[in-house]
Chains A and B, each alone.
Chain A
Amino acid sequence: MADVELSGLTKRFGALAVVDRVELKVAHGQLVCLLGPSGCGKTTTLRLIAGFLEPDEGTIVVGGRKLSGPGSALPPERRNMSMIFQSYALWPHMTIRENVAYGLTLRRLPADEIQRRVAAILDVTHMSQFADRYPGELSGGQQQRVALARALVVQPETLLLDEPISNLDANLREEMRFEVRRLHDEYKYTTVYVTHDQAEAMTTADLIVVMNRGRIEQTGTPRQIFEEPNTEFVARFLGGTNILRGRRLGGSGPEIVDCGAIKLVCERGRGTGETAPVSIRLHQIELHRSQPPGDGRNVAPAEVRRQVYLGATRDYLVALADGTELRAVTPSDLDIAAGTPIWIRLPPERCRALAS
């Protein structure tokens, strides 16, 4: 097991920098998610780590060994890594057993050792009874488990996963998320996991790296990324949020942003420049039938535009005096009809000023 270190990693396709000066350190045994929309450079980063691509600038060092740099990239087969592909890439002409044993055969292990280890991993992944089937005869979830087994059985230094469960349907996806985490906890490989699904990243990752346009927007634990987004992009990409824009009023205390219809004291985050976006999660907005008591900070009149009953919660669309629309989620027993004038409060400790 080893730590993975990317420094100044850059890959261009033509003039476009698909991966742009990426810096990342993955401690060994850690599971890191590269999270971002399609085209953000996360898969390219993974393929650079795997050695399928050669960087134009920067280096990749794994366990103290430099694997990639411009003009010199160790071929993938000599990196002692494993990878799980979006398509699973199970070889259709080999049985499940043969698929799983292949990596061990390449390592020239004795036959009985191969048999033992294949049996063990198939057991762990609950695939023993399918050992002699062909991939075409398995369901998507089963294929996924085989792909996991095949990648894990070689005991790689580093495990790479490229959107491994995005092809599954919703129920299976949820199950496999936990499965990936369970297996990681069991084997503790240094793992780099690429996904565009924030829930997937939340449930599996030790560390989430949010990427956008080839660059890292923010690195942090799932909790940090969710609760303390540094940029509007991160705030928006991870779950529902409201973004209000306003002028920074400055001062030495907490950030105060004047959004026109409402002046927001943001006890968290700090903006840059003249204006700043302010993020507040949907469920953190308070709705009041009458003006709430207290210091009156971050309170404004509003009107309910629309509400939807969702069982456990209600989803509200409210508008401020200047027409700015905000979404709020409340317990379902708060029932205010559309068109009703109300008061809203955005608690200062929940408002986060972001870099613009």
Chain B
Amino acid sequence: MARRRFDPSAPIFALFALLLAILVFLPMGWLAVFSVRGPDGAATLTYFAQLVTDDEMVRPLIVTLIVATSVSTLCTLVATPMAWLIARTDMPFARPIRLLVMASFVTPPFLGAVAWEILAAPNSGLINQVYRLAFGLGRSDRLIDIYTVYGLILAIANYTFPYVFILVANGLDRIPSDLEDASSILGASRWRTAARITVPLVLPAIVAGTLIAFLQAMNNFGSPAIIALPAGFHTMTTKIWSMFQYPPQPGMAAAAAVPLLAVTIMLLHLQRAALGRRSYAVVGGKGAQARIIRLGWLRWAALAYCGAVVSAAVIFPYIALILTAFAKTLTITWAPEGFGLGNFEFVFFEFSSTKPALWNTMLLGVMAATAGTAVTLIIAYVTSRQAVPGHRVLGFLATAPIAIPGIVFGVGLFFAYTHPPLVLYGTLTIMFIAFLTTELPIGYQQFQAAFRGIHIELEEASRILGATRLRSLRDIVAPLITTAVVSTWCFIFIAAIRELSAAVLLYTANTKVLSVVIYDLNENGELGAIAVLGLLMLAVTFAVVAVAYRLPRATSIPTSA
């Protein structure tokens, strides 16, 4: 072959591959090293041995499995019928219900856990107070106790079921109703059609949703930190975190992170298998409007069911936060003089952490969202256009962090950047790296989908008419990708400002973020201040979500058959 011209895409590829490899593998490499390095520096397997023999380690492992299994089962049982009711029936108020499910989706789980503490603490919890009041019961009677394993399961499930809901609802949307009509015409009843055609078609989505819910529950740190510790037990994530308290046990923490990592990778493989075996691109879908099943009087029962779920996840917790934010004393009295703006005054004018934390959070959110959008945009472009050799490697690297639980990644980053040559601990940079890396997969997947919708011929048409590659990017790709850019930015921003599990291991006094401040306040029992900060965080989140939702959907892009 003749001499090649200098190709600028090669160094770009090398640069990005190197950058991603460092971001992902350096922390994971150190994690591996620490997990097998004894205090004397020699290789050892004692940490892993301790993991399976020491009762202090085995118990959290079992609790974690119980919690994750229960949460995923519960979420699937609750969210699957909800998705079907909203997508395929004439249940009233489907749209508000859908919006409330989205609200649950963007509510930080730790905030939800705090709200549920307020609601369901065994004695002072609002629900138990109302319960006792309503039935004239004594103090020892309670409806619900959040400081238990089932309380934790409930608190996590409330903010995990949307994962199942979204996957199943999307799955239902993709099934052309012709398939169901075909069954009806052959004489099957509505219910029989649902059972024999609809359910099997969405089964992969249900399975995938269940697995994702399992992972979310297993890798959740905020909820158990808030609920399990007062209840007197640990999950794996809180146990790992506790090993960073004095006296630190980094090796043990590293070893304890390995099972989380292994299970996550395994389940993601399973999920891909579940979604991948059957093709969803159902043939010939002219996209006929899904046929709405009439429920008759049952639709009110359906509404009651969906309403109960979103009440538990969103309505009651938000009310609890609002009441607490305005309450003067720690006991919420229902008299009007029991409410005031004291907590707001404290948070905004006295609490010296508010301003720096807010600033850090916004700065990190903006930086992670901007950098994450830019990096994933380029990588997704390169991989979707197969512009450089080895583009698959880039795609893999950008997706890899999805398999790394936040707390595990925090542990890895802690090891990687707390000693020379790269000492980043205590800087905003390390937080930035953590947020950027953990959010890469979100951005990459968004853009991959977006580029799939922009046929490569659109660019080629511009090239052949005389535009350079850069000019085509500017004139053709940029305007078409704008929507995806803004929505990706919003997604990463929201995910970054609520990140707790990596942040809690990496922050220092100067680099506190809102989530960590809320977490610290909780240990201090400052529920009023938490409620105010939590509402602030939710307000920012909803504002950003509103921006993302208001974007015009890209004008219909003709794609080739």
Contacts and interface: CB of A to CB of B under 8 A. Distances in A.
Report if A and B touch in the complex (beta carbons < 8 A). yes
Contacts of B420: none
Given A71-B2, A107-B466, A91 B560 contact: no
B475 A102 contact: yes
B458 interface: yes
A142 to B, nearest CB: 12
B558 A143 contact: yes
Given A106-B467, A143-B558, A167-B560, A85 B2 contact: no
Interface size on B, as a range, is: 20 to 34
Nearest to A102: B465
Given A56-B1, A71-B4, A106-B471, A87 B558 contact: yes
A77 B463 contact: yes
Contacts of A51: 463-464
Interface in A117-134: 134
Nearest to A135: B558
A78 B558 CA distance: 27
Given A77-B468, A85-B460, A70 B2 contact: yes
Given A69-B2, A89-B457, A76 B556 contact: no
A75 interface: yes
A52 B557 CA distance: 22
B455 interface: yes
Contacts of B465: 77, 82, 102-103, 106, 150-151, 154
A156 to B, nearest CB: 8
A136 B559 CA distance: 11
B560 A79 contact: no
A51 B558 CA distance: 24
A167 B561 contact: yes
A104 to B, nearest CB: 9
A330 interface: no
B389 to A, nearest CB: 12
A93 interface: yes
A135 B458 CA distance: 12
A50 B466 contact: no
A160 interface: yes
A154 B558 contact: no
Interface string B447-472: 00000000101101111111111010
Interface in B1-29: 1-5
A90 interface: yes
A240 to B, nearest CB: 27
B480 interface: yes
A36 B467 CA distance: 31
A233 B449 CA distance: 41
Interface string A133-147: 011100000010000
Contact of A77 (B4, B455, B464, B476): B464
Nearest to B455: A87
A160 B464 contact: yes
Contacts of A87: 455, 457-458, 558-560
A86 B466 contact: no
Contact of A86 (B4, B457, B475, B557): B457
Tell which of B462, B466, B468 has the most Cβ of chain A within 10 Å: B466
Contacts of A89: 455, 457-458, 460-461, 558
A193 interface: no
A52 B463 contact: yes
B553 to A, nearest CB: 11
Nearest to B559: A87
B554 interface: yes
B2 to A, nearest CB: 4
B555 to A, nearest CB: 5
Interface in B541-560: 554-560
Contacts, number: 100
Interface residues of A, number: 39
A167 B465 CA distance: 22
The residue among A88, A150, A160 with the most chain B CB atoms within 10 A of its own CB is A88
B390 interface: no
A313 interface: no
A340 interface: no
B463 A88 contact: no
Nearest to A108: B466
Contacts of B458: 87, 89, 91
B479 interface: yes
Given A103-B465, A106-B467, A167-B560, A85 B457 contact: yes
A134 B479 CA distance: 14
Q: Which of A52, A87, A134, A160 has the most chain B CB atoms inside 10 A of its CB?
A: A87
A85 B467 CA distance: 16
Nearest to B479: A93
A77 B557 CA distance: 23
Given A72-B5, A85-B457, A106-B471, A93 B464 contact: no
A72 B6 CA distance: 11
Interface string B519-561: 0000000000000000000000000000000000011111111
A75 B205 CA distance: 44
B464 A76 contact: yes
B466 A103 contact: yes
Contact of B1 (A71, A75, A76, A93): A71
A102 B557 contact: no
A102 B561 CA distance: 25
B462 A102 contact: yes
B169 to A, nearest CB: 26
A103 B271 CA distance: 46
B555 A136 contact: yes
A90 B469 CA distance: 17
A51 to B, nearest CB: 8
A92 interface: yes
Contacts of B457: 85-87, 89
A60 to B, nearest CB: 14
Interface of A: 50-52, 56, 69-72, 75-83, 85-93, 102-103, 106-107, 134-136, 143, 150-151, 154, 160, 167
Shortest 6 CB-CB distances between A and B: which pairs? A87-B560, A71-B2, A103-B465, A89-B457, A89-B461, A85-B457
Given A52-B460, A106-B466, 20 more contacts: A52-B463, A70-B1, A71-B2, A76-B464, A77-B468, A79-B464, A80-B466, A83-B460, A85-B460, A85-B461, A86-B457, A87-B458, A89-B455, A89-B458, A92-B556, A92-B557, A106-B471, A150-B461, A151-B465, A167-B561
17 contacts: A70-B1, A70-B2, A75-B468, A76-B460, A77-B464, A86-B560, A87-B558, A88-B558, A89-B457, A92-B554, A92-B555, A92-B557, A92-B558, A93-B480, A102-B462, A136-B556, A167-B561
Interface of B: 1-5, 455, 457-458, 460-469, 471, 475-476, 479-480, 554-561
